Amino acid sequence: MTEERLPEGSAEAGQDPLTQPVVRTGMFGTHTTGDTSGYGGLQVRRRPEPSTPRPYGSYFDEIADRLAEGLAAAGTDFADAIERVVMDRGEFTLHVRREHLVAVARVLRDYPALAFEMCLGTSGVHYPQDTGQELHAVYPLLSITHNRRLRLETGAPDADPHIPSLTGTYPTCDWHERETWDFFGIIFDGHPGLTRIEMPDDWKGHPQRKDYPLGGIPVQYRGARIPPPDERRSYS
């Protein structure tokens, strides 16, 4: 799929670019009739998630308050560490500045009123239109003690794809960060062994990025070749 901001002269033109809808056209990155998904002519306009004002509801306001206390005790200001807070469809996401990611994770884990003892994994996302933060890493956390959940998200630019590793705080992130580097190219600084885990060691590129070429790559174990989208049969 391709994504782009609305053009100048549209109804939303002239507004803050962070609040303008992003237009998603088609699927799988193709601009031609080679998109055999049937979604080649689809256009979806979605707005970026704004920062959610208080109250967040449920136990999420308490989490924010306790996190602010824990960060202050560690010498970090909540507003410096957290870029924005998003409450959407019952899910609570803290967007953390990457330089504060480890400090935030340690407070969430160690502060008794929070006690997020478990990280359930690491996921990568590629947003080409999010200039300066094209690469995102997402960490869902679980507090077994309090039976609570939240999500941490942090970003890095394509030109500097470095994010601190959380393996020292949550050892379960080890293989998940390797997979995220393998597929998206995010470099997790401090990871004990950031190597390929799904793709062959000599593979070029990171195949879940939206700018990764589709097709035309030989399938080594069969000697086959997957054609690019514009060479595939169209069903339109």
Residue 229 confidence class, pLDDT cut points 50, 70, 90: low
For residues 69 and 201, give the distance between their C-alpha atoms in angstroms, rounded to a whole number: 44
Structure tokens, 118: 């478990």
User: Which CATH architecture does the domain made up of 51-203 adopt?
Assistant: 2-Layer Sandwich (3.30)
pLDDT in tens, 144-186: 999 999 999 999 999 999 999 999 999 999 999 999 999 999 9
The pLDDT, as a whole number, for residue 215 is 65
The pLDDT, as a whole number, for residue 5 is 47
Whether residue 30 is predicted with pLDDT greater than 80 in this model: the reply is no
Q: What are the residue boundaries of the structural domains of the chain, listed by start?
A: 51-203
pLDDT in tens, 195-216: 999 988 888 899 999 888 776 6
In one-letter notation, the amino acid at residue 218 is P
- Read out DSSP for 92-150? EEEEE-GGGHHHHHHHHHHSTTT---EE---EEEE-TTSTT--EEEEEEEEETTTTEEE
| CB distance 182 to 175 below 8 Å | no
The pLDDT, as a whole number, for residue 129 is 83
Residue 189 confidence class, pLDDT cut points 50, 70, 90: very high
User: pTM for this one?
Assistant: 0.77
| CB distance 118 to 85 below 8 Å | no
Residue 130 confidence class, pLDDT cut points 50, 70, 90: confident
The pLDDT, as a whole number, for residue 2 is 46
Instruction: Give me the chain's average pLDDT, please.
Output: 83
pLDDT in tens, 32-61: 555 555 555 666 666 666 899 999 999 999
